[in-house]
Amino acid sequence: MTDIRQKWRDLVRRHAQCFDRPGDERYWSPGLETAPREQLRAMQSEKLALAYRYLWECSAFYRRKFEAAGLTAESVHGVDDLPKIPVTHREEWLTDQEEHPPWGTFSPLRQEDWLKRGWMLYTTSGTTAAQPRVFRHTTFDRDQWAWIGARCLYSMGVRNGDIAINCFGYGTSVAFWGLHYALSLMGVPVISGGGSNTERRILFINTYRPTVLLCTPSYALYLGRAMREAGHNPQESSIRTIVCAGEPGACVPATKHRLETLWHAKAHDDFGCTEVAPAPLGYTCTNQVRRTDAPVDTHLMEDVAIPEVLDPVTMQPVPEGQPGILVVSNLYSEAQPILRYVMGDWITVTTEPCSCGRTHARAVGGLQGRNDNLLKIRGLMFFPAVIEDSIRQLADVGDEFKVEITRRDSMDHVKVTIEPASPIPKSRYEPHAERVGRALKGSLGIHVEVEVVPYGTLPRTQFKAQRLFDLREKLV
Ligand SMILES: [Zn+2]
What is the 3 state secondary structure string of 274-335? CCCEEEEEEECCHHHHCCCCCCCCEEECCCCEEEEEECCCCCCECCCCCCEEEEEEECCCCC
Return the CATH number at 385. 3.30.300.30
Instruction: Answer yes or no: do 311 and 431 share one domain.
Output: no
Looking at residue 174, its pLDDT comes to: 83
Q: How far apart are CA 192 and CA 126, in angstroms?
A: 25
Amino acid 383 reads F
Mean per-residue pLDDT for 372-378? Answer: 84
Q: Which of 346, 370, 394 is the last residue of a domain?
A: 370
Instruction: Answer yes or no: do 293 and 416 share one domain.
Output: no
CB neighbours of 5 closer than 8 A, spacing ≥ 6?
54, 58, 108, 113, 334
Is the pLDDT at 316 greater than 90? The verdict is yes
Residue 414 DSSP symbol: E
Maximum alpha-carbon separation in the chain: 75
Q: How far apart are CA 167 and CA 214, in angstroms?
A: 6
Instruction: Answer yes or no: do 342 and 416 share one domain.
Output: no
Looking at residue 382, its pLDDT comes to: 85
Instruction: Answer yes or no: do 318 and 179 share one domain.
Output: yes
Looking at residue 476, its pLDDT comes to: 37
Ligand 1 mean position, distance from CA 73 (Å):
38
Q: How far apart are CA 241 and CA 265, in angstroms?
A: 5
Is the pLDDT at 130 greater than 70? The verdict is no
CA 212 and chain centroid, separation = 18
Helices 37-58 & 60-68 angle (0-180, nearest 10): 100
Half-sphere exposure of 385 (CA within 13 A, CB side): 21
Instruction: Answer yes or no: do 153 and 12 share one domain.
Output: yes
Considering its fold, how many domains does the chain have in total? 2
Partners of 207 in the β-ladder: none
Instruction: Answer yes or no: do 448 and 400 share one domain.
Output: yes
Ligand 1 mean position, distance from CA 269 (Å):
12
Is the pLDDT at 475 greater than 50? The verdict is no
Instruction: Answer yes or no: do 356 and 408 share one domain.
Output: no
**C-alpha angle with apex 276: 275 to 282, nearest 5 degrees?**
120
User: Mean of the per-residue pLDDT values for the chain?
Assistant: 93
- Collapsed DSSP state (helix, strand, coil) of residue 370: strand
Contact 177, 145 (CB under 8 A): yes
Ligand 1 mean position, distance from CA 285 (Å):
5
First to last CA, the chain: 56
| 468 band by pLDDT with thresholds 50, 70 and 90 | confident
Ligand 1 mean position, distance from CA 337 (Å):
26
Contact 386, 379 (CB under 8 A): no
Ligand 1 mean position, distance from CA 321 (Å):
17
Contact 178, 132 (CB under 8 A): no
Q: How far apart are CA 456 and CA 398, in angstroms?
A: 9
Contact 239, 215 (CB under 8 A): no
Instruction: Answer yes or no: do 293 and 427 share one domain.
Output: no
Amino acid 342 reads V
Please return the burial class of 167, using the count of CB atoms within 10 Å of its CB with bins 0-12, 13-18 and 19+.
buried
Is the pLDDT at 467 greater than 70? The verdict is yes
Ligand 1 mean position, distance from CA 33 (Å):
10
The residue segments making up the domain with residue 423 are 375-475
Mean per-residue pLDDT for 209-237? Answer: 96
Q: What is the pLDDT of residues 265-275, one digit of tens each?
A: 999 999 999 99
Q: What is the pLDDT of residues 156-194, one digit of tens each?
A: 999 999 999 999 888 888 878 999 999 999 999 999 988
CA 168 and chain centroid, separation = 14
Looking at residue 411, its pLDDT comes to: 87
Q: How far apart are CA 98 and CA 103, in angstroms?
A: 9
pTM exceeding 0.85: yes
Q: Where in 11-141 does DSSP place strands (E)?
A: 118-123, 134-138
Half-sphere exposure of 458 (CA within 13 A, CB side): 24
Kindly report which listed range (10-19, 61-70, 137-146, 408-417) carries the lowest average pLDDT score.
408-417
Please return the burial class of 308, using the count of CB atoms within 10 Å of its CB with bins 0-12, 13-18 and 19+.
buried
Looking at residue 9, its pLDDT comes to: 97
Ligand 1 mean position, distance from CA 156 (Å):
10
Instruction: Answer yes or no: do 244 and 285 share one domain.
Output: yes
Instruction: Answer yes or no: do 407 and 338 share one domain.
Output: no
Is the pLDDT at 128 greater than 70? The verdict is no
Is the pLDDT at 395 greater than 60? The verdict is yes
Ligand 1 mean position, distance from CA 341 (Å):
25
Mean per-residue pLDDT for 199-217? Answer: 96
Q: Which of 354, 370, 386 is the last residue of a domain?
A: 370
Ligand 1 mean position, distance from CA 27 (Å):
11
Ligand 1 mean position, distance from CA 311 (Å):
26
Return the CATH number at 188. 3.40.50.12780
More confident residue, 382 or 316: 316
Q: What is the pLDDT of residues 78-126, one digit of tens each?
A: 999 999 999 999 999 889 999 999 999 999 999 999 999 999 999 876 5
Is the pLDDT at 2 greater than 80? The verdict is no
Mean per-residue pLDDT for 215-237? Answer: 95
Mean per-residue pLDDT for 22-41? Answer: 98
Q: Which of 309, 342, 370 is the last residue of a domain?
A: 370
Ligand 1 mean position, distance from CA 283 (Å):
9
Instruction: Answer yes or no: do 170 and 214 share one domain.
Output: yes
Q: How far apart are CA 138 and CA 447, in angstroms?
A: 52
Amino acid 149 reads G
Is the pLDDT at 279 greater than 90? The verdict is yes
Q: How far apart are CA 173 and CA 270, in angstroms?
A: 16
Instruction: Answer yes or no: do 81 and 230 share one domain.
Output: yes
